[in-house]
Amino acid sequence: MIRVVIAEDHLMVREGIRALLEMEGDIIILGEAGNGQEALDLAEKLKPDVIVMDIMMPRLNGIQAAERMREFKLSPRVVLLSMYLDAGLVHQALKSGVKGYVLKSSVSDELILSVRAAARDETYLSGIVSSIVIESAINPRMNPDDSSGNLSPREKEILKLIAEEHTSNEIAVMLFITEKTVEKHRSNLMAKLNARNLAGLVRAAVKFGLVDRET
């Protein structure tokens, strides 16, 4: 049996994914998470074979959660679900070690294939996503310039929370740090990103795929 955890912040979508996976005789759902931090916690607690995770979630997005799992040497293979055919996000996802990148528009056809491939430690990409990866390999000029690379994982986490409209005090409580430390990170972010105000930080968070474009 393939042991799976589902991480998706929209309950109805999560229920749909669960129903689809549970129709398969070789897949069992161990648990569900509503944000990236919960997914990380369940990965450590339940030790699933595969985590099916939305790329855009509160607290930690799917890419950040995948990076943390690799950093903490947790075993689950990650399959990301995305609404966006974005070359930058695809390359970030692959760099973070994910085993699948599936577009939500084709999830019913491809999710099962991606989960089984991930369980075998193989990589599965939606067809059109594969085309982007192949084209960028042939034409290196297509490779996106990920200017978020000079940000630390903590800075990315705080940038995401700022863009989600959390106050410095709220961020401090969530991350178990002082409000003064949050303010220092905020200042560093503004300097690194050449942002003059909050709007500039939010634009950077969207550009780097840390938050949804509609946030």
What is the domain partition of the chain in residue ranges?
2-140, 147-207
Q: What is the pLDDT of residue 14?
A: 95
Class of domain 147-207: mainly alpha
Q: Is the pLDDT of residue 151 over 50?
A: yes
Residue among 25, 105, 180 at smallest CA distance from 172: 180
> What pLDDT shows up at residue 86?
72
**What is the pTM for the complete model shown?**
0.75
Phi, psi of 142 (to 5 degrees): -80, -15
| The pairing of beta strand 50-54 with beta strand 77-82 | parallel
Architecture in CATH of 2-140: 3-Layer(aba) Sandwich (3.40)
Per-residue pLDDT of 170-206, as tens digits, reads: 999 989 899 999 999 988 898 888 888 888 888 888 8
Provide the pLDDT for residue 139: 61
Q: How far is CA 179 from CA 60, 86, 166, 169, 176, in A?
A: 19, 34, 12, 5, 9
Over residues 53-63, the pLDDT tens digits come to 999 888 889 99
Mean pLDDT of 6-26: 95
pLDDT at 102: 93
The pLDDT value recorded for residue 105 is: 83
**Residue 1 has which token pair?**
């049996």
- In whole angstroms, give the CA distance from residue 88 to residue 207: 9
Mean pLDDT of the chain: 87
Q: Comparing C-alpha atoms, which of 64, 59, 53 is closest to residue 14?
A: 53
Query: What is the per-residue pLDDT across 45-100, written as a single tens digit (0 to 9) for each?
Result: 999 999 999 998 888 899 999 999 999 999 899 999 988 777 778 888 888 899 99
pLDDT surpassing 60 at residue 17 = yes
